[in-house]
Amino acid sequence: MEINGLPLHPLVVHAAVVFGSLAAVAALGYVALPRRRVLLRWPMLALALIGVGSIVAAYYSGNSFFSSRPPEIRANPQVLSHQHLARQLFWITLGFGVVAIATGWLSRRTGVLRVMLDVLLALGAVAVLVWVVRTGDAGARAVWG
């Protein structure tokens, strides 16, 4: 996949890093600031959807980009490490997205369900942040050495 002759993946990963991280930070804010939840609910949901969408787009464009490379590049251990982390990030992000939507949908609930959703949302947000950094770093090392 290309846009104006440029591979789509290097363009899309910037959105994935920015919006994936913003979604995670918004979710952490939603959990950490319970008195501000009414104000943070819709921004958190919007950023979660945009973040998940951009990471999914980066994942699929990365698979397409990988398939178009010569065999010696596809066998590079750094590229394979990046691909492995990207696959993990893909699934972590999908789980985070589901929990974020459930948390937003059930925002008025209290009790054990509220606590469970908050814990899952916070854990998912931290995991997304960590894997975005790890995946991006592995990709940068694969390209720049």
- Burial call 19-48: b when 16+ CB within 10 Å, e when fewer: bbbbbbbbbbbbbeeeeebeebbeebbebb
Residue labelled with tokens 């910037």: 14
pLDDT tens figures, 58-114: 999 999 989 888 888 889 999 999 999 999 999 999 999 999 999 999 999 999 999
Alpha-carbon distance of 63 to 83, in angstroms, equals: 8
Alpha-carbon distance of 122 to 31, in angstroms, equals: 7
Q: Are 83 and 62 in contact (CB under 8 A)?
A: yes
Alpha-carbon distance of 66 to 124, in angstroms, equals: 27
pLDDT tens figures, 18-40: 999 999 999 999 999 999 999 99
pTM of the model: 0.92
